[in-house]
Amino acid sequence: MNSLISVAFLIATVVAAVLGNLVGAAVLLGFAVIWVGVARYARSPRASEQLRISNFEYRDANDRSLASRAFAGVGMVALTLSGFDVIGMLVTGHQDMSLTLRFVVLAAAFSIALANALEKEHPEP
């Protein structure tokens, strides 16, 4: 996962540079370097549990369970804030389909994740 995130930062760096946004490219390159450094440290025995888990370096099932619960909390906050965005857009008359699309995608992802969790919790015979 960390390799994928680092590559995404590097691709974004190149795109920003090609588009002439050199400040953005420098910032993204900095993010990539920092991400790689922190990810490498997270693999070390000295890394705290929080640092390991927040950098996707799970050592056991307990780490995965903690990360899953944390992501569930993040997902609920994201879905709630996205819903507030859509409500605000409708109240003000502002038309932004990206807000609506984000809310729909988050709601669909929640529904799919819930269905998968229920299936694992209560498998059909």
Instruction: Look up residue 100 and give its amino acid.
Output: T
Nearby residues of 108 by Cβ (< 8 Å), 6 or more positions away? none
Using CA atoms, how far residue 14 sits from 2, 5, 35, 45, 71, in Å, is 19, 14, 17, 34, 30
Q: Say yes or no to pLDDT of 9 above 80.
A: yes
Structure tokens at 105: 């995608």
pLDDT at 8: 95
In the prediction, which pLDDT does 95 show?
A: 86
Q: How far apart are CA 104 and CA 94, in angstroms?
A: 17
Q: Tell me the CA distances in angstroms from 16 to 6, 33, 35, one per residue in order.
A: 15, 16, 18
pLDDT tier at 3, thresholds 50, 70, 90: confident
Question: In a 3-state reduction of DSSP, which class is residue 122?
Answer: coil
Residue 105 in this model has a pLDDT that exceeds 80: yes
pLDDT for 2 equals 86
Per-residue pLDDT of 29-87, as tens digits, reads 999 999 999 999 999 999 999 999 988 889 899 999 999 999 999 999 999 999 999 99
Q: pLDDT tens digit string along 15-35?
A: 999 999 999 999 999 999 999
Length of the chain: 125
User: Which residue's entry shows tokens 């996962």?
Assistant: 1
Question: What does the pLDDT read at residue 26?
Answer: 97
